[in-house]
């Protein structure tokens, strides 16, 4: 980035901070930074993700995250990739990064909640499979699973995940 572009970024950032709008910082940087390399990597990552080339998409999104660590959209997409790959801890971490960049990013809050609910569901299913019926925890586990099963999205996602060949990963 040349000196003129850096000055423009500095001016824009100072205006954004003066206005108290920190959620727009990554958008300002991205819109002012017309780096064709970043735009190319972003496009290639998106196409790889949409095409199911998750390993390639991950490499590209991680590269973008290193180069633009305060870009909520990049972290959100990386979180989605990890969630899709049944890597909930990494997904949650990426969503947290997105929220650090933009605390008002509703999609990151939503996706983080869904990932955590799926983790709870999986933990409780494992607990149910290992607990003896005589154990005092058995009724509590059953009750929690019944409660969670009333959440349609969690139930549908859990049944879909349980039917997949790599269900044990999640």
Q: Which CATH class is domain 3-94?
A: mainly alpha
- What are the DSSP calls for 5-16, one per residue? HHHHHHHHHHHH
The per-residue pLDDT for range 128-137, each reduced to its tens digit, is 999 999 999 9
Quick count: other Cβ atoms within 10 Å of Cβ 112? 21
State the pTM of this model: 0.68
How much is the pLDDT for 148?
87
Tell me the average pLDDT across 65-91: 96
How much is the pLDDT for 28?
33
How much is the pLDDT for 11?
31
The per-residue pLDDT for range 1-41, each reduced to its tens digit, is 333 433 333 333 333 333 333 444 445 344 435 677 989 99
Spell 144-160 as b/e; 16+ CB within 10 A means b.
bbeebeeeeebeebbee
Lowest mean pLDDT among 20-24, 35-39, 101-105, 166-170: 166-170
| Rounded CA Rg of the chain | 20
Residue 97 phi, psi (nearest 5): -60, -45
Q: How confident is the model at residue 47 (pLDDT cuts 50, 70, 90)?
A: very high
Residue 156 · residue 117 · CB < 8 Å: no
Residue 94 · residue 69 · CB < 8 Å: no
Residue 70 phi, psi (nearest 5): -105, 20
How much is the pLDDT for 155?
53
Alpha helices for 20-71 (secondary structure H)? 25-32, 36-50, 54-67
Domains of the chain, by residue range, sit at 3-94, 112-169
């Amino acid at each position: 980035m040349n000196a003129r572009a850096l000055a423009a970024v500095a001016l824009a950032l100072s205006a954004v901070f003066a206005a108290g709008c920190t959620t727009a910082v990554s958008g300002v940087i991205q819109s002012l930074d017309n780096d064709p390399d970043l735009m190319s990597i972003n496009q290639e990552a998106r196409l790889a993700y949409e095409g199911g080339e998750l390993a390639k998409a991950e490499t590209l999104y991680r590269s973008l995250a290193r180069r633009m660590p305060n870009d909520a959209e990049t972290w959100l997409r990386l979180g989605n990739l990890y969630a899709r790959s049944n890597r909930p801890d990494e997904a949650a971490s990426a969503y947290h990064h997105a929220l650090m960049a933009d605390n008002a990013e509703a999609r990151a809050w939503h996706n983080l909640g869904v990932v955590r609910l799926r983790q709870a569901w999986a933990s409780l299913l494992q607990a149910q499979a290992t607990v003896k019926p005589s154990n005092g925890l058995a009724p509590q586990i059953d009750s929690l699973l019944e409660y969670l099963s009333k959440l349609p999205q969690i139930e549908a996602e859990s049944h879909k995940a349980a039917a997949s060949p790599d269900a044990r990963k999640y």
